[in-house]
Amino acid sequence: MSEEENERATVTSSEVLNYGTLARYSEAVIRGALEQRFRYQQWSPEKMERGKAVTDAFIGTAFTVIKNVPPCPTRTRVLNEIETCRMMANAAITHDGSF
């Protein structure tokens, strides 16, 4: 195994992206971590089930906000944050909690 392959095998993608610098990791290792983080990854049936459960919960939360909070810029922000939380939860499912 080459030194670069060994470096890739021993470093987690989240470690590279959280603490990585070109002084600490090779460009190839950083690019590999970015590829893993940003490229589309097909979900397994189990991940699809978990993602649906999360989405359903956030739809319920958003509906409760719409029903009970008066229309205003703050409510809009709340709904935007709910959407952001759903996207972040889906990302955690995609990456098995690696980030």
pLDDT tens string 20-65: 666 777 888 888 888 888 888 999 999 999 999 999 999 999 999 9
Q: Going by C-beta distance under 8 Å and a sequence separation of 6 or more, which residues neighbour residue 89?
A: 54, 58
State the amino acid at position 36 in one-letter form. Answer: Q
pLDDT at 7 > cutoff 80: no
Q: Assess contact for 20 and 33: CB atoms under 8 A.
A: yes
Q: Is the dihedral of CA 61, 63, 66, 69 positive or negative?
A: negative
State the amino acid at position 44 in one-letter form. Answer: S
φ, ψ (nearest 5 deg) of residue 7: -65, -45
